[in-house]
Chains A and B, each alone.
Chain A
């Protein structure tokens, strides 16, 4: 019946092919564009009506200006950095002349972190925390998925810790890190370790759960294949369990990366650890006439990066996962 109708309409109206293809592209390309334009319009309209004690709420043009400013600040800071190293080199050579035993050491730049530096810091933190979580969670999830006994033992603990906001852990993490991570010349800053552990804590649970569910629901035929072949335990995990669970692992990874990014920003705000969250908080505290538009710029950057992280994971999933249907959106 439906085919009949379709045939009928196409025949009578007789639309050319190019017209139909434009129609399709219209929805795929033009509509998001129209959506964004409408949003920008509504945003700038409503922004002009919101008055705060720090001036008007920033509209798109204020944000655009700040993007320029922040980029310029970054460039300026880099040239200050170059000057810093030149001065240091000079000072070191002077000292070497006076004190031949001196072992020249180049100290890294001590200037402020620009917006772009903060973005980089946040990205590095979220990825390291995420990778550490994956390294712990995936083997753990596999073990739990494979062993009913282990599942019974660990599941209640996971269920209790899963709903805890990692921000609640933050004070504990901070105290433990400062007590345990003591070193005169630490490889990583404590603030980095704190943020990273917080990210790890929030990434771990979704990944463990998804992985173990994925392992527990592997197609029994594949397990039988493995049994018939008498695959040794390790080969079994490597050749059957791991690949079979990859779609589930990716679901867990994407969920947790999304949460991690949100949590990291909040944690940085709360603990004043370097990163985008600190940038937002510092600007809020500065309370200058530019603060709001800078914060708005950061908000947009945070959203954009969150989106790109998810797309990145999706691309990785498409590349690594055999199950193309689960990676479709």
Chain B
């Protein structure tokens, strides 16, 4: 009885939610088709980024003149770390920025700095990897099955790392690893990989003031800005890390570590970075918002066009000192369809960086909800929430409506074709249930609480730290 009431409640919520989404989409698309897109209200913009290859759409939109085509004069500025970047957007020093998918979500639910940040554009899929130091690699290598040619079988699971971690714990030595931000994709991916191999990455308990995320942990995770990862590992402060490119390839290049697994292998085609702006900005400058989304969509398309034909040029752009600045050779290692694991073990990973294919740029509610489930799983969200709450938050942060009007106006102006957006008309904001996780667990964005309960390690419905 009780169960059925809950179910009905859930269904009602879902229906209401779908209706609101439909309504808002209709109203926006109507206004977009009714009149031509106006000039931008604000023309001079400053965007922040962190030195990672997945900022490419911003650099490309600038260098290829897509921003200027929209009448936008954009200054692009590297930021010291994710916190500085987020604060910059919140206090208006930056108009928008390349953000971790978790950042706008966490800001909306008030984990960390509370602010209303929205995202009309998802920047890429995949692009991260987990690297361990040479020493750890030597210790775990023996635990990995070999292929016929003697190279390790991929994907490498954390099962291979578990004996090493256990040995350290027995000796009373803490096992430290780096990730880039408490709400970053990297944190959740690293945790997912570790937990899938039976290694506990630790819980958060924010209401008790514990934001270190190390409660019950086997492996102690701490924050290090991406560009400093290799140097921090080289100094011995951390034994491994999860970060975006080129900082895994940098470790190979410098000979200080070995990437063991890419996030493509942990969760195939996982959403990674988003472009974040404040809600105020989007309301105050609606044309500017649509126009910058248009420029970014065009840049993303350029990056993936003709089977990655432009990647070579993109690498050259990114290697400029004002963008990523690493050597073109290092950036090219991951951007051009390959990925170098152990030195010399270069394998084809054509989808390591996806900027446009597979609807990469569309801001799916289900992507936002996945991040929320992981926040709940590791205690960053300390209390149980109904499924409807997950969807409300997702709808507040992810704005397919803006994306849609940008895409439609691009099609209308013949800058892009309808075939570039095959599912635009039918999308309801939810990807169909996703199966390609390293532990084989299926994710359905419509049922976040069910999903959370499937994990062996992590908080489940009703659990509290």
Which A residues lie at the B interface, using CB under 8 A? 53-54, 87-88, 91, 95, 99, 102, 105, 107, 110, 112-113, 178, 182, 190-191, 271-272, 281-291, 294
Contacts and interface: CB of A to CB of B under 8 A. Distances in A.
Interface of B: 39, 43-44, 51, 62, 65, 68, 71, 73-80, 84, 91-93, 225, 227-228, 230-231, 234, 250, 254-256, 319-322, 324-327, 330
Contacts of B68: 87-88, 91
A190 B325 contact: no
A301 B414 CA distance: 51
B74 A53 contact: no
A107 B44 contact: yes
Given A110-B73, A190-B93, A53 B84 contact: no
Contacts of B75: 110
A287 B326 contact: yes
B46 to A, nearest CB: 9
Given A53-B256, A110-B75, A287 B80 contact: no
Given A286-B51, A286-B227, A272 B321 contact: no
Nearest to B84: A272
A272 B74 contact: no
Contacts of B324: 286
A286 B234 CA distance: 16
Contact of A99 (B39, B43, B230, B322): B39
Contacts, number: 79
Contact of A53 (B39, B73, B254): B254
A112 B320 contact: yes
A54 B254 contact: yes
Contacts of A182: 92
A95 B71 contact: yes
17 contacts: A53-B255, A87-B65, A87-B68, A88-B68, A91-B68, A95-B71, A110-B73, A113-B322, A178-B93, A285-B51, A286-B51, A286-B326, A287-B227, A287-B326, A288-B319, A288-B327, A290-B327
Contacts of A99: 39
Nearest to A55: B254
Nearest to A286: B325
Given A88-B68, A282-B78, 15 more contacts: A87-B65, A95-B39, A95-B71, A105-B43, A110-B62, A110-B74, A112-B322, A272-B79, A283-B325, A285-B78, A286-B51, A286-B321, A287-B227, A288-B321, A291-B325
A112 B324 CA distance: 13
A107 B319 CA distance: 27
A197 to B, nearest CB: 15
A87 B234 CA distance: 46
Contacts of B254: 53-54
A289 B255 contact: no
A294 B327 CA distance: 14
Most B CB within 10 A of own CB, among A53, A178, A285 = A285
Contacts of B325: 282-283, 285-288, 291
A67 to B, nearest CB: 15
A53 B321 contact: no
Contacts of B84: 272
Contacts of B76: 110, 112
Chain A to chain B: the 10 pairs with minimum beta-carbon distance, closest first? A286-B325, A112-B322, A285-B227, A53-B254, A107-B73, A178-B91, A110-B75, A272-B80, A288-B327, A288-B326
Contacts of B319: 288
Contacts of A281: 80
A179 to B, nearest CB: 8
B62 to A, nearest CB: 8
B228 A53 contact: no
A283 B321 contact: yes
A20 B80 CA distance: 59
A111 to B, nearest CB: 8
Contacts of A95: 39, 71
A175 to B, nearest CB: 9
A244 B321 CA distance: 51
A144 to B, nearest CB: 36
